[in-house]
Each structure stands twice: as structure tokens, then as C-alpha cells.
């Protein structure tokens, strides 16, 4: 039995047919609006499909630098970009960073417009505390330097979140330490911290947990972090 071909008519074809038949202005405007919605939906689907491909190819970023204040390793922004840019641009993505308005004083909001070649765009943001003081409260950098440091920090973590970038210590011991917490566990910690009034970006808190950021908490330590926060009630 011969297969029946499925013919799909696009809004633009409907517009062409309508124009050929002398459609009136109101009907033409409705068809043009339909075409815009159709194109936007196609762009969203292309964005989503490409993001899946990027996530499948993104490598782990080795944390090769040392933060002596928090006694932990980290990967700086240049490392993250160097390891990921060729991948996400190959799949049609570009990122434009710009500053927004933070909700809290002494914070800087960095926004990221993730643009796909299809024309679809998504915006994300990250609020980072303005740096400039050490763990003991002593001033250790100028206001300009502090803002630049906070901006770099926010851009790095936006990259982590947008492309779901995994990180790991480059000292041969990461496999022995185990996996880090899942996105769901991270969200649970952040929600509880907000509930009990703990800032998850606070240097003293992170130093107590022996991490540079919450996403570095080991899965095996998840329950102990929750217990620490519960004691703050």
C-alpha cells in the first residue's frame, strides 16, 4: 500500500495565496501576525534543540586555581570560556553580558542575553555581593577592583548555570571525594538558606563549608549542610 504524503502549509504560503486572491487588509494583518507567531515558535524549538546538543558536549572544567581565603580550588572565567566557547558558538549561540539593577544594596546584577542564530533569545541574571572586604572584614581591594571581581564571579556562574557546566578538582582526588550535589539539592539548600536568613554567597559561610561556591558541595555532605542551616532557625 502506498504511503500518503503529509503536506504542511506554512503561514507564509497562506499569505501568498491570500495576496494572489486579493485578500483585504484586515485579513492580511491577521495572517502576518500568524506568521510572526509561527516563526517565533520555530525559533524557540531550534533554541531548545541546540541547547540539548550543547549540554551533551560540554566538558568538565578543571578547578586549577586556588582560593586561599576559602581554602578551595576554582576555575576562573577565562578557563570556562576557553573550554566552552567553540562548542556553544558551533551550535548557534552567543552571549551578551550587561549590568542590570540589583534588588539589594551592595550587590551587582549581571545579566546574560543568550541569543540563538534562529533569532530566539533568553535572559538570565545573577546577583553577586560587591567584593572589597576579606573574611575578617578588612578592606582588601578598591571599589573599582571589587566591582570587577564581583562582575567576573557573576559571569562565571551564569555560564555554569546556562550551559550546566560541571566542575572538578584537577588534583587526582576528585573521584575519591565523590559527586557534587544535584541541581535539585542546590535549589533546596538555597531556598532553606533564604528562609533562615543566610546568604549563600557569604565568604564565612562558604569557608565553613570548605567550598568556593554552593555547587561544589559534595552530595555526601548534603544532609549535613541542611542540618547546619536548620540550626539557624
- State the average pLDDT for the chain: 80
Q: What is the pLDDT of residue 84?
A: 94
Among 98-107, 139-148, 160-169, 202-211, the range scoring the smallest mean pLDDT is 139-148
**Residue 139 reports pLDDT greater than 60:** no
Mean pLDDT, range 205-229, rounded to an integer: 84
**Residue 193 reports pLDDT greater than 80:** yes
Among 55, 56, 79, which Cα is nearest to 168's? 79
Most confident of 19-28, 65-74, 77-86, 215-224: 77-86
Assign 7 a pLDDT band (cuts: 50, 70, 90).
very low
Q: How far apart are the first and last CA of the chain?
A: 71
Q: What is the pLDDT of residue 178?
A: 63
Rounded-to-integer distance, Cα 37 and Cα 26, Å: 17
Residue 67 phi/psi, 5-degree rounding, is: -100, 105
Rounded-to-integer distance, Cα 107 and Cα 32, Å: 44
At 110, list the grid cell.
549581571
Q: What is the pLDDT of residues 49-89, one digit of tens each?
A: 999 999 999 988 877 776 665 556 777 888 889 889 999 99
Interior angle at CA 101, CA 122 and CA 160, nearest 5: 45
User: Strands 72-74 and 65-67: what pairing?
Assistant: antiparallel
The residue that leads in pLDDT, 68 or 168, is: 168
Architecture field, domain 58-177? 2-Layer Sandwich (3.30)
Residue 140 phi/psi, 5-degree rounding, is: -125, 5
Q: What is the pLDDT of residue 1?
A: 45
**Residue 111 reports pLDDT greater than 90:** yes
User: How many helices (H) and strands (E) are present in the chain, helices listed first?
Assistant: 8, 7
Q: What is the pLDDT of residue 55?
A: 92
Amino acid at each position: 500500500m502506498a504511503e500518503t504524503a503529509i503536506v504542511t502549509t506554512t503561514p507564509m504560503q497562506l499569505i501568498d495565496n491570500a495576496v494572489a486572491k486579493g485578500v483585504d487588509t484586515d485579513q492580511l494583518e491577521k495572517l502576518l501576525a500568524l506568521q510572526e507567531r509561527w516563526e517565533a515558535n520555530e525559533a524557540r524549538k531550534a533554541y531548545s534543540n541546540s541547547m540539548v546538543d550543547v549540554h551533551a558536549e560540554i566538558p568538565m572544567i578543571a578547578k586549577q586555581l586556588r582560593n586561599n581565603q576559602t581554602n578551595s580550588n576554582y576555575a576562573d572565567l577565562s578557563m570556562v570560556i576557553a573550554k566552552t566557547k567553540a562548542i556553544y558558538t558551533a551550535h548557534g549561540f552567543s552571549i551578551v553580558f550587561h549590568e542590570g539593577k540589583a534588588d539589594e544594596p551592595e550587590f551587582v546584577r549581571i545579566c546574560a542575553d543568550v541569543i540563538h542564530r534562529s533569532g530566539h533569545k533568553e535572559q538570565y541574571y545573577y546577583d553577586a555581593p560587591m567584593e572589597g572586604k576579606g573574611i575578617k572584614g578588612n578592606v582588601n581591594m578598591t571599589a573599582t577592583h571589587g566591582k570587577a571581581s564581583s562582575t567576573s564571579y557573576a559571569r562565571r556562574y551564569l555560564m555554569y548555570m546556562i550551559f550546566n557546566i560541571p566542575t572538578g578538582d584537577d588534583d587526582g582526588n576528585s573521584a575519591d571525594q565523590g559527586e557534587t550535589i544535584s541541581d535539585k539539592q542546590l535549589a533546596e539548600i538555597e531556598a532553606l538558606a533564604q528562609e533562615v536568613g543566610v546568604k549563600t554567597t557569604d565568604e564565612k559561610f562558604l569557608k565553613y563549608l570548605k567550598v568556593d561556591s554552593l555547587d561544589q558541595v559534595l552530595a555526601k555532605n548534603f544532609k549535613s549542610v541542611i542540618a547546619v542551616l536548620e540550626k539557624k532557625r
